[in-house]
Amino acid sequence: MKERFHSIDEKTKKLREQLTIKRPEVQDFLDKLEMAWVHHDCALEGSIYSPTELTAALHPGAVVAEASLLPIVWEIRNHKAAVDFIREEAKSSKKHAPLTMTFVRRVHDLLSGNTPEAQQARAMAERRERTEKELLKEREKAGFRKDIPLHKTYLHEIAQPAKVQPALEKLLDWTSSSEFREFHPILQGARVQHEFIKIFPFTDTSGKVGRMLTNFILLRNGYQPVVIVSVDRAKYYETFRSTFTGFSNLMMDSMENSLDYALKFFKDLQRYYR
């Protein structure tokens, strides 16, 4: 395990050096990373968007011509808002600061579009006020789930509704413990996500929130976000039915694959500049 941590640390250091060099390709790489993050994270939940759809939704000021595309646009923009939020929070967060319920709810609200900014943007685009029924549904989605989803994407057993809040509070309390602080940041992020998704607090966003929490922990410790690609979707689901070791190995595999790809990108770039 220590050898894997060392390998990831060394590759992360090399990539960080490349990202400090001022050239247009660096921003191009970061833009592609952001798009891949949104694409694969949505795909893990069953929403597969094309590069064209992603570009249109993420382009500032873009006008959506077809009303049928609006739900896609909102999901992508909500996801990007959550990404931007955890990036900013990671810059000011202490490396071992505990996660809070307020933070978890904020990430959930951003992902589900349950913020004043997102609601105003939707109202302007749709040119109508939300109905009372729609507002009630949004308020219900803002809280913890009250049932066991019949057609949930994940296959593992999840916490009974009455046990969701106590289980989540226990997990968040653990992030203030000495045991949490002694964990390597990669294992901190992996453990939080593995336990969070087994609790499954929210009906629609639990998977996304869990991965955001992991990436927040990684980012504040100087790592790149881990992007689990959609082709590993079945393998990813299966890890929640087995041991934590299987999940942490999948996460580290994903981190190393992303780092290897990034380092190859910049190595090929250096040949171009020679």
- How far is 33 from 224, CA to CA, in rounded Å? 10
Question: What is the distance between the terminal CA atoms of the chain, rounded to a whole angstrom?
Answer: 38
pLDDT, tens digit, 9 for 90 and up, residues 115-136? 757 666 655 555 555 566 665 5
Would you list the domain boundaries of the chain? Answer: 2-273
CATH of 2-273, one of 3.30.465.10, 1.10.3720.10, 1.10.3290.10, 2.40.30.20: 1.10.3290.10
Q: How confident is the model at residue 177 (pLDDT cuts 50, 70, 90)?
A: very high
pLDDT, tens digit, 9 for 90 and up, residues 82-94? 999 999 999 999 9
- Give the pLDDT of residue 73: 86
pLDDT, tens digit, 9 for 90 and up, residues 100-119? 999 999 999 999 987 757 66
Q: Over 80: is that where the pLDDT of 9 sits?
A: yes
Q: Would the pTM of this model clear 0.85, i.e. be above it?
A: yes
Q: Over 90: is that where the pLDDT of 37 sits?
A: yes
Rounded (5°) CA angle 98-102-107: 95
Q: How confident is the model at residue 229 (pLDDT cuts 50, 70, 90)?
A: very high
Q: How confident is the model at residue 149 (pLDDT cuts 50, 70, 90)?
A: confident
- Give the pLDDT of residue 15: 97
pLDDT, tens digit, 9 for 90 and up, residues 54-80? 988 887 666 665 666 778 888 999 999
- How far is 41 from 233, CA to CA, in rounded Å? 10
Q: Over 80: is that where the pLDDT of 273 sits?
A: no
Residues contributing to the annotated binding site for ATP: 204-211, 236-237
Q: Which of 30-44, 48-62, 189-203 has the lowest mean pLDDT?
A: 48-62
CA-closest candidate to residue 257, choices 220, 221, 232: 232
What mean pLDDT, rounded, does the chain reach?
A: 89
- How far is 103 from 173, CA to CA, in rounded Å? 13
- How far is 172 from 145, CA to CA, in rounded Å? 18
- Give the pLDDT of residue 103: 98
Give the largest Cα separation in the chain, rounded. Answer: 63
Q: Over 60: is that where the pLDDT of 263 sits?
A: yes
List Cα–Cα distances, 247 to 2, 93, 199, in angstroms.
Answer: 17, 26, 15
- Give the pLDDT of residue 151: 58
- Give the pLDDT of residue 30: 92
- Give the pLDDT of residue 152: 66
- Give the pLDDT of residue 116: 58
- Give the pLDDT of residue 70: 78
Give percent above pLDDT 70 in the chain. Answer: 85
Q: Is 238 helix (H, G, I), strand (E, B) or coil?
A: helix
Instruction: Compute the average pLDDT of residues 37-41.
Output: 96
- Give the pLDDT of residue 90: 98
Residues contributing to the annotated binding site: 204-211, 236-237
